[in-house]
Amino acid sequence: LTAGNKIFHFGPCRVSISMTEIRSGFTAIKDNIQARDPIRTLSILSYPHSLHKVKSSDRCCVTHHLFNFYMDKVFKHCKTEDSYINRKISSIANSFLSVKRKLEQCHEQNKCMCGQESTEKFKQILVNYEGLNVTSAAIKSLGELDILLDWM
């Protein structure tokens, strides 16, 4: 277990995540990225229901969906004019990639089952995301990374 890593137990699925690295990467870019998101009254992850309402049995599937979401729909659309910010984003993306693979293995081994509620929850997140243009939605989602991390 590398320093700063934390073992997450999603039922039978155990995943080691470099939480400290991800958090410090996000803290370094948080104000910059959130300042690029002018929409205060909409949230991708916590509207209309907070992630904190997700049942524990659905946590693994929602986490799996969200890590895929960030890899497929967020990081790649967050190029900025600031190379420092871009480096931090790709460092976070690299950390996410290794977690995504581990969650994928759990899913293939039927240890990360998706219930009705988690599917609905994730559908709502996609609706929120698709309600904005891609760049705005990606920047807003990146600015909400601490909502995901706090929930985990």
Partner 1 sequence: SGELCCSLPNPKNVHFESINMKNVLHWSAPEGTGDGVLYKVKYLVYGAGKWIRKPECRNISRTWCDLSSETSDYEEQYYASVKAFLNGMCSDWMETTRFNPLTDTKIDPPTVSVSSTEKSISIILTAPEKWKRSPEGESVSLLQVYPGLQYNVSVLNKKTKKRWFFSISNNTLVVPWLEPGTAYCVSAQIHITTPLLHSGFSKEYCIATLNDKTA
Least separation in angstroms between residue 110's CB and partner 1 is 28
What gap in Å lies between CA 74 and CA 44, rounded to an integer?
11
Binding range to partner 1, per CB under 8 A, among 29-37, 66-74, 77-85, 102-110: 29-37
Q: Can residue 111 be called a binding residue for partner 1 (CB under 8 A)?
A: no
* Coil, strand or helix at 18: coil
| Percentages (nearest 5) of helix, strand, coil residues in the chain | 65, 5, 30
Q: Scanning residues 69 to 88, which ones bind partner 1 (CB under 8 A)?
A: none
> Dihedral, CA atoms, 70, 76, 78, 84, nearest 10 degrees?
110
Residue 149 neighbours by CB distance under 10 Å: 13
- State the number of binding residues for partner 1 (CB under 8 A): 25
* Nearest to partner 1 of 28, 113 (CB atom): 28
What gap in Å lies between CA 106 and CA 117, rounded to an integer?
19
Q: Can residue 116 be called a binding residue for partner 1 (CB under 8 A)?
A: no
Binding range to partner 1, per CB under 8 A, among 15-23, 80-88, 103-111, 112-120: 15-23
Figure out which of the listed residues 9, 14, 42, 127 binds partner 1, where binding follows CB under 8 A. 42
* Nearest to partner 1 of 38, 81 (CB atom): 38
Q: Can residue 130 be called a binding residue for partner 1 (CB under 8 A)?
A: no
HSE (side-chain half, CA atoms, 13 Å) at 57: 5
Figure out which of the listed residues 72, 82, 120, 150 binds partner 1, where binding follows CB under 8 A. 150
Strand-pair partners of 13: 10
